Amino acid sequence: MELQSDSWRVDLADVIEQILDRKRSSGAGREETLTAFNRLATAKYIHDEIQGKTEEILVALLKSVKSRSSEKEASLALKGGFSVYPYHYPL
């Protein structure tokens, strides 16, 4: 039972790796990755999993916003940024 409940952590780690390694993905692939990240970030408390990686993640998300590849990618990246930002700059 423990493995099933922790499978989202493995999924999140994979998604973060894909976000950080954006050179190897297409625009549609990045949209899919960002959708998965946003789903996990809104469904789970991800602080421990992204601790120490928040700046890298924010920079990668900003690249997706600035790339102007597609409006969908930019909007998904902004949503992801809003999920990560409070962990990087706590109140």
For 37, the domain range is 2-88
Q: In whole numbers, what is the pLDDT of the chain averaged over residues?
A: 87
Helix (H) or strand (E) holding 53: none
pLDDT tens digits along 44-75? 888 888 989 999 999 999 999 998 789 999 99
Higher pLDDT, 6 or 18: 18
Number of structural domains the chain divides into: 1
- The residue-averaged pLDDT of 70-84 equals 92
- Percent of the chain with pLDDT strictly greater than 90: 58
Max Cα–Cα distance, the chain, nearest Å: 42
Nearest in space to 88 (alpha carbons), one of 61, 45, 42, 52 = 52
Residue 1 is predicted with a pLDDT of 37
Residue 4 is predicted with a pLDDT of 57
